[in-house]
Chain A
Amino acid sequence: MITPPSPGDSSSAPTASAVPVAPTALDQCAQEPIRIPGGIQPHGALGLFRGDELTLVQGSANLGNVLDRAIAFDGTQTLETIVGAYAPLAGDVRRWAASREPGFLEQYVIDRRTFHVAGHRAAQGILLEFEEFDETERGRSATFYQLLREFLDGSDGLKTVAALCTGVAAQMQALTRFNRVMIYRFDEDWNGTVIAEKGDGTLPSYLDLRFPASDIPAQARDLYRLNRLRLIPTAAYTPVPLAPALCPVDGAPLDLSHAALRSVSPVHLEYMRNMGTAASMSISIVIDGKLWGLISCHHAQPRYVGPQIRAACDFLGRIVAQQISARERAAEADERLRLKGLETELVARLARAPGFQAGLVDSATQWLALTNSAGAAVVTDGIVLTAGKAPPIDSILALADWVRARGVDQIYATGMLSAEWEPGRDIAKVASGVIAVPISRIHASFIFWFRPEVVETVTWGGDPRADKATDAAGRLHPRLSFESWKQEVRLCAQPWHTAELMSATDFRSAIINFVLQRAEERAQLSEELQRSNKELEAFSYSISHDLRAPFRHIAGYAELLGEEEPDLKALSRHYLDGITAAALSAGQLVDDLLHFSQLGRTSLKMSRVDMTKIMVEIRRSLETDERQKGVEWDIGSLPPAWGDPTLVRQALFNLVENAVKYSRDSTPPRIRVWGQERSADVIYSVEDNGVGFDMNYANKLFQVFQRLHRQEDYEGTGIGLALTKRIIDRHGGTLEAKGAVGQGATFSFTLPKRQSHPVQATQPLAGGNRDRT
């Protein structure tokens, strides 16, 4: 708003012809040599001095006029010859030049007139600027130190940045008596918003207006950062040229970056005139080396502010910068502390949860509050869990893929997702603002926070789309209109604050620790599982050897005894048979147990299973069984399946044998076996018309040693169905039973139709799943 520069205007910028003509007006602005304008403003004069003698080598053409003496720029005059030997100026400048002091500012009486002399070291020599003291300031200088002190005393009560800025604007207005003083703050894109204003009503209010970044090009901003105060007493001034035009030291234009009198570009003056301001002054607010904002003063009439008040303004600018910085830091520290407290609470809650994902959902309030978000999501292994207002699952997964592809290391954050990721438009209503933190190096696992679109009406100080124009001669003009122009800003969320981003990053570390810890626990658990598996193996081995042998011996001796004593009493014979039967049954139990435990340990040898053939074999092997005589078989089509043929045969055998066993008292026993293809699997059923069972006990049916019938009625060890269940489980299928007492039973099991990856036991989670095939 203050210094937009001009195009190559050869009269004011002698080197402009050396600057390539840029294709667009904006580029032209950025190329303008504003540090070397080749002239100064007329409210003072300037000279370049060199060497121990402080020889004058170049100066403003008005130097002689201002000092009221004859000046030659031919290298024949020294500072002494200009200001007179009686002034201590030359001696002071020499001492300063030899010191490390960056700048020089003193008052001197030269020919009974008081001058402010400011000095700085430039690349080409020592630049001294002379400004005659304005006698009207003399009376006020006592009061403005009082004003500054009062402001400093009162500023402690201004707790917020906004309140502080309002106070500063008023203070600055009192100090300078400009018609309007504004505090102007830059955003991330260097657009500026007037956040505080104090005026006397002469000029219109610009409070809350936004000005586009192009009003102050990058190089101008850079100068504002280096040289914090600029005064233009009148926009209607005629620049005073330098003499000679190029510096005799190096033949280059004189660098006026740090010169207070530096001439500003004609475009800027035109801008001021368009704006209706005849005079302006601006003081930069620089925080941590970065241009935070400006204190901008405007006047409807030409207005000169002398060096002493300017120094006070500069001082005020520095104080304000420090106070803003302190308040922003304090506010951020408070917020950090608050968020840290939330984080601690949340992590404590997660530690008690079975999984951090589920824990997050259960603690949704804290999770969202961690970054002051409206929605959140956690993505792990393609599973999405959400809280609050979050986009659809598919969008979150796509977003996770996109963020992952960007190779985000610690954190990704945006306030306008759709600007960086086109599909973000579809979810802008809930997720214009996004924070993503990766929680795995290998997988696309993220924690997301979302902020909704906040439709905002921005009032610009003029239409930013038409900020500059070139005339027929190709000359650049600043925009003419400062009529406020309203724009509706869409697809943007409230920006993320540093404290919120740090909170997200900290939380990421906590979660990663969490995940690592869980992984360690899992590893330990699997070690324990392996150990217990080994123990089980050893146990079943010893069962097989040491328990089986005695049963065999009992059976063997009972048999031998029977042979040795063929004339045993009937009762003795009965006892002996009992011994044999008991031993055989116990031996069978041991065999079944071993088989059952082996099933969990050995791997499946998968292949295509011809169920029709298996059923034929089962019937054949049952033919020796007395019980199956009289059974009416109804064998339907049995489509092939995918499995371990031996185990599948065992499973079907157990079911068919059961059907035979429990239907033997029916007249006639009927057994129906059939299969039915479904989309991914085949379901096989074995139905009988036997004794059936009470559905109330259905869940006990498949447990080891669970029997629903008395042992003397139906023989067996009670492992058969458990074994069948285990076989089907290992194939990723299901086994179900239906029945009613006295009305038979139907057992159905499923097997995969074709080869597939092993079925992994995953916790069903709310939210949704990605099909990862």
Chain B
Amino acid sequence: MTALRPILLVEDNPADIELTLAALKKAQLANEVVIARDGAEALDYLFSEGRFANREPGLPAVVLLDLKLPKVDGLEVLERVKSHPKYRTTPIVMLTSSREESDVVRSYQYGVNSFVVKPVDFKAFYEAIRDLGMFWAVLNEPVPGELA
């Protein structure tokens, strides 16, 4: 097995970043967590552009993508990634505060892998993050040859 692939957390709210990191840490996932603070940064990272032009090659195990983001919003990031032939197999989990039906519907239309409304209860939130991490970063088998 090669090195663990990183988890890309796309989130602008510091509290959410902190809580998500705490949850991931509690879940004892060893994957590196890369943080993008807005949609543009996320795209730069994914497509190895801008300040991530010289990053280590390879795609994240999973992208935890907040829906409401500065600059480029989560739905647009999702659409850009999922419509790109090379990157569309990247698992993306929409992790959001929103319960709006229209957001859920559009996310699925764009090919989101799952949609999770962040629970208010921290225990539930922790369980959600843990389960997501376990599934996508550990259990999920990526498409062969994707790393190359």
Q: Which of A544, A552, A588 contacts B98 (CB 8 A)?
A: A544
B121 at the interface (CB under 8 A from A): yes
Q: Which residues of B contact A544 (CB under 8 A)?
A: 97-100
CB nearest to A598 among chain B residues: B101
| Partner-binding segment picked from B2-10, B12-20, B80-88, B136-144 | B12-20
A552 CA to B101 CA in the complex, in Å? Answer: 20
Q: Which residues of A contact B19 (CB under 8 A)?
A: 552-553, 556-557, 560
Tell whether, in the assembled complex, residue A588 and residue B120 are in contact, meaning their CB atoms are under 8 Å apart: yes
Tell whether, in the assembled complex, residue B123 and residue A552 are in contact, meaning their CB atoms are under 8 Å apart: no
Assess A560 versus B99: contact at CB under 8 Å? Given A549-B13, A553-B16, A553-B19: no
- A interface, CB within 8 angstroms of B: 540-541, 544-546, 548-549, 551-553, 555-560, 580, 583-584, 587-588, 591, 594-595, 598, 602
Tell whether, in the assembled complex, residue B100 and residue A541 are in contact, meaning their CB atoms are under 8 Å apart: yes
Tell whether, in the assembled complex, residue A545 and residue B120 are in contact, meaning their CB atoms are under 8 Å apart: no
B125 at the interface (CB under 8 A from A): yes
Shortest distance from the beta carbon of B118 to any chain A beta carbon, whole Å: 6
Per-residue contact bits, chain B 54-89, to A (CB 8 Å; 1 contact, 0 not): 000000000000001000000000000000000000
A549 CA to B97 CA in the complex, in Å? Answer: 6
B119 at the interface (CB under 8 A from A): yes
A541 CA to B67 CA in the complex, in Å? Answer: 12
Q: Which residues of B contact A540 (CB under 8 A)?
A: 100
Shortest distance from the beta carbon of A270 to any chain B beta carbon, whole Å: 96
Tell whether, in the assembled complex, residue A552 and residue B68 are in contact, meaning their CB atoms are under 8 Å apart: no
A628 CA to B96 CA in the complex, in Å? Answer: 33
Q: Which residues of A contact B120 (CB under 8 A)?
A: 548, 551-552, 555, 583-584, 587-588, 591
Tell whether, in the assembled complex, residue B97 and residue A548 are in contact, meaning their CB atoms are under 8 Å apart: yes
B22 at the interface (CB under 8 A from A): yes
Give 9 nearest A-B pairs by CB, closest first. A587-B120, A559-B122, A556-B122, A553-B15, A556-B19, A552-B120, A545-B97, A548-B97, A549-B97
A580 CA to B122 CA in the complex, in Å? Answer: 9
CB nearest to A583 among chain B residues: B120
A248 CA to B53 CA in the complex, in Å? Answer: 122
**27 examples of A-B residue contacts, CB within 8 angstroms:** A540-B100, A541-B100, A544-B97, A544-B99, A544-B100, A545-B96, A545-B97, A549-B15, A549-B16, A552-B97, A552-B118, A552-B120, A552-B122, A555-B121, A557-B19, A558-B122, A559-B122, A559-B123, A560-B22, A580-B122, A587-B120, A588-B120, A591-B99, A591-B120, A594-B99, A598-B101, A602-B101
Q: Which residues of B contact A548 (CB under 8 A)?
A: 97, 120
Q: Which residues of A contact B125 (CB under 8 A)?
A: 552, 556
Shortest distance from the beta carbon of A243 to any chain B beta carbon, whole Å: 105
A652 CA to B117 CA in the complex, in Å? Answer: 25
CB nearest to B23 among chain A residues: A556
A552 CA to B123 CA in the complex, in Å? Answer: 11
Shortest distance from the beta carbon of B19 to any chain A beta carbon, whole Å: 4
Q: Which residues of B contact A602 (CB under 8 A)?
A: 101
CB nearest to A553 among chain B residues: B15
CB nearest to A552 among chain B residues: B120
CB nearest to B67 among chain A residues: A545
Q: Which of A541, A552, A580, A594 contacts B119 (CB 8 A)?
A: A552
Q: Which of B98, B119, B121, B122 contacts A545 (CB 8 A)?
A: B98
A560 CA to B118 CA in the complex, in Å? Answer: 16
A202 CA to B55 CA in the complex, in Å? Answer: 134
Q: Which residues of A contact B122 (CB under 8 A)?
A: 552, 555-556, 558-560, 580
